[in-house]
Amino acid sequence: MDTQPAATIDVEPVPASIYELIREDIISGKLGPNERLKVADLAERYGTSTNPIREALQQLRGEDFVVMEPHRGARVRPIDENFVRDIIEIAALIEPALTRWFVGIVTEADIAQLEAVQREIEELNFADPSRHGQLDTVFHQVIYDRHYNRHAADLWWRHREVLRAISRRFPTSLGRRTAVLREHRELIEAIRAQDADRAAAVIAAHVEGSGRHIIEHMRLARATGARKPLT
């Protein structure tokens, strides 16, 4: 899974392949936790034959969105609070390291780009959540996308997509909004000051805060709209 080029700010991506459709439905919760994924059902649901479904499921299995047992088929890996906590913890280890490196290679132009994106984010001021999600992604992409460690960058990207999809489900609290803006500004500041330690610390806090926010909302949603248990 390669990351998008940082320059183009693409429109909301409309899922094309079966793989993307199923993944979207898993992340968005249309396909619930632990739900069985029968090849025949999915084929009908998405209007294709079984072959593409089988392949999509295998790919999703490789990416850990789907669990498969031999001769017992596929199930949706639950995207629950634990899941989010896990990937946030990993992100909290990787992102500071990537940021640290970025501080060492950053150019005037990079900082200008960061500031431009940040300006857009502040102007938008969370009016359009989906657009904000895009801009926020681009902001961090500027920092991570040129890193030589493609594995780490792709890992970040994968986590990012999951978190963004989950975040779409609920609004950003006022407290979180101000924190996001403050942390972004502080990050730019630290990068400009060539203070790698501070930049790393800021991004670590940023990731943690974002994770807490998401998990809190998930907990709330779970408590309120009691979801049906596994099939």
Coil/strand/helix, residue 43: helix
55 binds DNA (CB under 7 A): yes
Query: For the chain, give me the number of helices (H) and strands (E)?
Result: 9, 3
Q: Which is nearer to a second copy, 93 or 220 (CB)?
A: 93
| Residues 186 to 215 in contact with DNA, rule: CB under 7 A | none
- The Cβ-side half-sphere exposure at 168, using a 13 Å CA radius, reads 15
Q: Which is nearer to DNA, 74 or 153 (CB)?
A: 74
Distance CA 111, CA 189 (A): 9
67 binds DNA (CB under 7 A): no
CB 76 within 8 A of CB 150: no
Distance CA 84, CA 200 (A): 21
Q: Which does 155 bind (CB under 5 to 8 A by kind): a second copy, DNA, none?
A: a second copy
197 binds a second copy (CB under 8 A): no
x/- letters, 30..49, toward DNA (CB under 7 A): ------xxxxx------xxx
Measure Cα distances from 44 to 16, 49, 226 in Å.
17, 8, 28
Give residues in contact with DNA (CB under 7 A).
17-18, 36-40, 47-52, 54-55, 68, 70-74
Give residues in contact with a second copy (CB under 8 A).
1, 51, 54-56, 58-64, 82-83, 85-87, 89-90, 93-94, 97, 148-152, 154-155
